Structure 1
Amino acid sequence: MTGATTPDVSTRSYRERLIPGPGLFIALLLVVPAVALVLTPVNAAIAVPTGVIVYIIAAATMLLLSPTIRVAQGRLIADRATIPVDQLGEIELLGAEALRAAIGPGLDARSFLLVRGWITRGVRIENVDPADPAPVWILTTRHPRRLADAIAAARVSDS
């Protein structure tokens, strides 16, 4: 693991929901006047309330469909994908530039990605399982160090 400290037993489990930041919800507010503009010629009385309802539905959908990254019971779970931590190799912490390079043109198409554009940091985790076609997992996370420490702690506790 690149640059990791000794894992602490208290970091054995990890959970993070990759919800969008407040800026995206503010930008999404533009749906209210857009819907109102379209509906005003049809029925002006329902234009703004319908815009608000569309906003609430869109915001709720973004929240409910946000993936989760977890480390629990000796497994890394990224949305619906899961892998035992003993099948994971070196972990590289990625800042904004390193993440951009990791998912750029040089990316191996077989890699497993859980990337959200509103999160600018992440981890690149080597997959050492010879039966798994994905050579690496690249995950965006707001807390790359905590995720790496949780994986390391889970490896230690499984040993």
Structure 2
Amino acid sequence: MQHATETYDERLTAPRSWWVIAVLVGLSCALMLLPLGTLPLLGGLIGGTALASVLVSSYGSARIRVVAGSLVAGRARIPLTALGTPEILDPEEARAWRMHKADPRAFMLLRSYVPTAVRIPVTDPADPTPYVYVSTRAPERLVAALGQ
């Protein structure tokens, strides 16, 4: 649900295959505890799956919003007045900006399982961050929200 002042809201969830891996981690924990008996086996299955699921969920719950004149990407909140013209990155360009074109001073909310991204220059002279890189499944919508 979007609020009246909110123009864009996206949650970057982890891919389904990661949830399968979380279950496999639980099975592995259960197998490690198999020699100790049935109760430790069940504890390993439940505990391992729960722990792996919490890790997948926390990593996969990054949120991107444009709200009240700010870009909120993960824990960062950047006023739109400090940002330049956004650039939509196709999968190939996004990969390049994650790798050999990346600047270590940049703020990057990246998820490698999201193929597209938006790169936005930071125009505030007091901020040493050259640009903001945001993985997004809807780059056109994010750029449109940033332009409002």
Report the TM-score when normalising by structure 1: 0.81
Matched, 1:21 2:15: yes
The corresponding residue for 1:51 is 45
Could you tell me how far 1:41 is from its partner in structure 2? Answer: 1.4
Stretches (4+) displaced over 3 A: none
In structure 1, list runs of 5 or more residues that go unmatched. 1-9, 154-159
Distance 1:75 1:59 in 2: 31
1:42-101 per-position Cα deviation (integer Å, ceiling 9, x unaligned): 233331443133212321343245221110000001111111112111211112111110
Distance 1:11 1:102, change over 3 A: farther
The corresponding residue for 1:151 is 146
Distance 1:37 1:20 in 2: 26
Distance 1:11 1:151, change over 3 A: farther
Matched, 1:128 2:102: no
Distance 1:80 1:147 in 2: 17
Q: Which structure has more RCO (C-alpha within 8 Å, separation ≥ 6)?
A: 1
The corresponding residue for 1:112 is 107
Report the TM-score when normalising by structure 2: 0.87
Contact 1:115-1:140 at 8 Å conserved across structures: yes
The corresponding residue for 1:81 is 76
Count of aligned positions: 144
Letter in structure 1 aligned against 2:13: I
SS in 2 for 1:30: helix
Matched, 1:40 2:15: no
**Aligned residues with identical type, % of pairs:** 35
Letter in structure 2 aligned against 1:36: A
1:102-140 per-position Cα deviation (integer Å, ceiling 9, x unaligned): 111232211111111221111111111111111110011
Distance 2:100 2:5 in 1: 34
